[in-house]
Structure 1
Amino acid sequence: MSSYGARIVIAASNAARRLGQGLDSLGKSMEVVKYADKLVPSTRFVAVDGVSPTVSPLAAFVAPNASVIGDVTLGPNTSVWYGATIRGDVHRVSIGENTSVGDRAVIHVAKIQGDFPSIIGKNVIIGPGAIVHAATLEDGCVIGPMAQVLDGSIVEKGAIVGPGSVVTPGTIVRSGEYWLGSPARMVRATTPEEMRVASEDSANTLALALMHAIECDKGLEQIHEDRAVYEDSIYRDPDYWQPNAKVSERESGDVLGMGSPGLIFDSALTNPVEGLKLRNKRQTAAEKK
Structure 2
Amino acid sequence: MSLMRRAAYAAGMMIRETGQALDRLGSSLQGKYAYVEQLSRHRQIMNLDTAKPILSTPAFIAPSASLIGNVELSPSASVWYGAVLRADNAPILIGPRASVGDRAVIRGASQIAADATVAPGAVIDAAEVRARAVVGAGAVVSPGAVVAENSILRDGSYLPDGAATSPGDIWGGSPAQRERALTQEEMDSITTTVEETVALASAHATECGKTHEQIEAEKLRQSLIEERSEDYNSHMGLLGREAEIAEVQARIVEEDREEQRKVGAA
Give the RMSD, CA atoms, in angstroms: 3.0
Q: What's the secondary structure of 1:223's corresponding residue?
A: helix
Aligned equivalents of 1:230 and 1:258: distance in 2? 15
Equivalent residue number for residue 192 of structure 1:
184
- The reply on whether 1:258 has 2:252 as its aligned counterpart is yes
Aligned equivalents of 2:249 and 2:217: distance in 1? 18
The one-letter code of the counterpart of 2:49 is D
Listed as ranges, the matches of 1:205-244 within 5 Å are: 205-238=197-230, 239-240=232-233, 241=238
Q: What's the secondary structure of 1:90's corresponding residue?
A: strand
Equivalent residue number for residue 150 of structure 1:
142
Q: 1:210 to 1:256 in 2, by over 3 A?
A: closer
Listed as ranges, the matches of 1:14-93 within 5 Å are: 17=30, 43-59=43-59, 61-93=60-92
Aligned equivalents of 1:256 and 1:92: distance in 2? 49
Aligned equivalents of 2:169 and 2:250: distance in 1? 65
Greater percentage in helix? 2
Q: 1:234 to 1:50 in 2, by over 3 A?
A: same
Q: Select the structure of larger CA radius of gyration.
A: 1
TM-score by length of 2: 0.74
Displacement of 1:126: 0.7
Q: 1:246 to 1:152 in 2, by over 3 A?
A: farther
Contact 2:225/2:242, CA 8 A, preserved across alignment: no
Unmatched tracts of structure 2, length 5 or more? 1-25, 254-266
TM-score by length of 1: 0.68
Q: 1:255 to 1:207 in 2, by over 3 A?
A: closer
Equivalent residue number for residue 175 of structure 1:
167
* 1:8-43 CA distance string (max 9 Å, x none): xxxxx99x849x97xx9xxxxxxxxxxx9x988x81
Q: 1:135 to 1:98 in 2, by over 3 A?
A: same
Aligned equivalents of 1:257 and 1:76: distance in 2? 37
Aligned equivalents of 2:242 and 2:102: distance in 1? 39
* 1:56-95 CA distance string (max 9 Å, x none): 0221x11000000000000000010000001100100011
Displacement of 1:170: 0.4
Contact 2:224/2:250, CA 8 A, preserved across alignment: no
Number of aligned residue pairs: 218
Contact 1:124/1:141, CA 8 A, preserved across alignment: yes
Unmatched tracts of structure 1, length 5 or more? 1-12, 25-35, 110-116, 260-289
How high is the sequence identity, in percent, across the aligned residues?
Answer: 35
Aligned equivalents of 1:17 and 1:154: distance in 2? 57
The one-letter code of the counterpart of 2:218 is D
Displacement of 1:101: 0.5
* 1:249-271 CA distance string (max 9 Å, x none): xxx9x699439xxxxxxxxxxxx
Contact 1:80/1:102, CA 8 A, preserved across alignment: yes
